[in-house]
Structure 1
Amino acid sequence: KIFQNHRVRFVEKNIALDSEYGKELEQRCKCVGEPPSLPVVFIDGHYLGGAEKILGMNESGELQDLLTKIERVQHPHTCQTCGGFAFIPCPMCHGSKMSVFRNCFTDSFKALKCTSCNENGLQPCASCSQ
């Protein structure tokens, strides 16, 4: 919410929606020698800190100084496709994580793991660049 109030462009990565985000967080925190914790903020790839540090920096005005070089958002809007979550249910399996395959030689169907989506049955939203 703080970054929305400052009207800066930012990317929020929810590790509950995609495990790749969790792996990326672990790798980034390991590089700076910090234990992975949530929430955590990186600005231009540099570790800034967690929620308490960001709140403190916001109160002192230090955050405003750091955000002067960050691109501003003139008219913030929510993506109409994903509602701002950056992910949509997989159109191939409809979020079930299984795709149905029909055997051409018999009338039987087999359920296979969908290869189009992540472990939660989601795909990145193509309509927004979050």
Structure 2
Amino acid sequence: PELTLEFGRIVIYTTSFRVVRTTFERCELVRKIFSNHRVKFLEKNIALDCEYGKDLEERCKRVGEPLSLPVVFIDGHYLGGAEKILDMNESGELQDLLAKIERVQHPHMCQTCGGFAFVPCPMCHGSKLSVFRNCFTDSFKALKCTWCNENGLKPCSSCSQ
């Protein structure tokens, strides 16, 4: 199903967690390579939304590849990780592959989210709790906010693709 949705698109699964430095650095490297080629890509940061992680796990299982960040898909097809992208970039293969991908004319950062593609939830303000008042008593109950993800974030409406 994602093949038709991702035709002519690049999807990069990354993480912004800096706990494992080498993983973070590989994600940064891949992001910079595609930015330098000035192509439009969708970055799915699994540290900001666990649904991206579940999606990536399913996709890697389907193609029989181990889950190791970053992972790049072009036109819905698995391309590889950081080492493969770096090798393709150095050999010129990547340039040929990116010829059909939409270009970014003037790269700019979203003023709403600062380029992170997520903003704090407007309902709970990122607390992940929704305060509910019981109609029969004066007590309040703290419930899980149903508007946002597990980190108290919503996709940015200004730059969502």
Residues 25-82 of structure 1: CA distance to partner in whole angstroms, max 9, x if unpaired?
A: 0111111110111001111111111001101110110100000000011111111100
**Equivalent residue, structure 2, for 1:13:** 44
5+ long unaligned stretches in structure 2: 1-31
- Choose which of 51, 54, 57 in structure 1 pairs with 2:85: 54
Q: Secondary structure at the match of 1:31?
A: helix
**Equivalent residue, structure 1, for 2:116:** 85
5+ long unaligned stretches in structure 1: none
AA aligned to 2:37 is H
Give identity over the alignment, percent.
88
Q: How does 1:96-115 map to 2 (within 5 A)?
A: 96-115=127-146
AA aligned to 1:8 is V
| Cα separation, 2, equivalents of 1:24 and 1:96 | 25
Q: Secondary structure at the match of 1:92?
A: coil
1:103 to partner: Cα distance: 1.1
| Structure 1 stretches of at least 4 aligned residues deviating more than 4 Å after TM superposition | none
| Cα separation, 1, equivalents of 2:108 and 2:81 | 26
TM-score (norm 1): 0.97
Count residues with an aligned counterpart: 130
**Are 2:156 and 1:125 equivalent residues in the alignment?**
yes
1:129 to partner: Cα distance: 2.1
- Choose which of 10, 30, 34 in structure 1 pairs with 2:65: 34
| Cα separation, 2, equivalents of 1:13 and 1:39 | 10
Residues 2-41 of structure 1: CA distance to partner in whole angstroms, max 9, x if unpaired?
A: 1110000000000011111001101111111101110011
Alpha-carbon RMSD? 0.8
**Equivalent residue, structure 1, for 2:99:** 68
TM-score (norm 2): 0.79
